[in-house]
Amino acid sequence: MAQYFDQINKIEYEGADSTNPLAFKHYNANEKILGKTMAEHLRMAACYWHNFCWNGQDVFGQGTFGRPWLEAGDAMAQAKAKADVAFEFFSKLSIPYYCFHDIDVAPEGNSIKEYINNFAAMVDVLEQKQAETGVKLLWGTANLFSNPRYAAGAATNPNPEIFSYGATQVFHAMNATQRLGGENYVLWGGREGYETLLNTDLRQEREQLGRFMQMVVEHKHKIGFKGTLLIEPKPQEPTKHQYDYDSATVYGFLKQFGLEKEFAMNIEANHATLAGHSFHHEVATAISLGIFGSIDANRGDAQNGWDTDQFPNSVEELSLVMYEILKAGGFTTGGFNFDAKLRRQSMDRADMFHGHIGGMDHLAMALKRAAALIEKDFLGKAVAERYAGWSGSLGKAIQSSEHSLQSLAAMVEREQLSPKAVSGRQELLENQVNLVLFR
């Protein structure tokens, strides 16, 4: 295995008093919280794309990272070198999972035949790397947004031949994910939206997208894939509007096409805020709808109106998200994937470790705070008390359809009801939460 990070040792837990920047201060994989280890709770993954496919280039400047495996050369040889470096990084970081797009790991080539052959060869390589290192695949996916053919989308493209090409990529990516033991398969509609309504048939595109998703489900059952199918919502960027705007919008789409029991959500923090929601809201919404699946852990910048994909560092925000996840029973097949990238000025080889160490430590801190909120249970008690009336005779009768508008009106008039508003005690609860978060 190539030693690109030869100056960096395996990252170990050294405790909160450690001054070693290349050590975990809070993430202790084997520490038990609420009966499970941190590793079991968090199920963390590092992504292939930001870490090993991006050279630091942006629309205003050239690449800054100098990654040798991204330089000109034999495409397959460079892909294998990239895999060496990726699994060296995963192993030294002590992270249990990784995630990839098909063309992250294999050269796309100049024809569908080259794509299939290159991808198949690299799946062999990934399978060997997983066996050597013990690193597992949290999820795989297909990139249906980078190639110019997908400028107008893949599943929603006005050209059925492009729809078919995208379906071919998903066919091979799903098969690869199953072979590699992937626990989920993700679909992100990066360009499944529109730039202008002047040339868009909304009904046509939604029906195309619905049929595409139905085909994915059909193939899942045909090959016997036992993992979870995940949809990753995002409101806009790169398109003006995307059909998978947020968790609630996706749920409505799934209901329309009879797919609500086949998919769960892969929620990205930065996508939630771009939709005008908090990360906390999106997670709680998905849980309430029964479609929570996995997390892309990152953050945005409040002063920038685009997807900056920075490493998560708000323990306060993460604690409330973790509280919702723990309260709902925790992850099943999902986990926390760091869909996060370095800043262009972070050019040292160690910077990739610093970003992930921080993210892993912050999630560990959040897990501890969320566990404390669960154990103290004052939020649960406050919610139960607030809605207690719905457990009484009147509430149960309304919910079980024993009442109509007429019967309720008659009952209110007969009993001369005059209910009064009750305090939600928001400020008290915020104070109590902060006493746990910042103890």
Residues of the binding site = 232, 268, 271, 296, 307, 309, 339
CA dist., res. 283 & res. 293, Å (int):
9
The residues annotated as belonging to the active site are 101, 104
The values of phi and psi at residue 30, to 5°, are -95, 0
Q: Which of 311, 186, 298, 172 is nearest to 244 (CA)?
A: 186
Query: What residues form the annotated binding site for Mg(2+)?
Result: 232, 268, 271, 296, 307, 309, 339
Q: Which residues contact 27 (CB under 8 A, 6 or more apart)?
A: 13, 38, 42, 357, 360, 361, 363, 364
At residue 37, the 3 state secondary structure works out as strand
| Residue bearing tokens 């989308």 | 153
Strand 292-296 relative to strand 97-101, pairing: unpaired
304, 323 contact by CB (below 8 A): no
| Identity at 216, one-letter amino acid code | V
Beta bridge partners of 100: 140
Strand 97-101 relative to strand 44-47, pairing: parallel
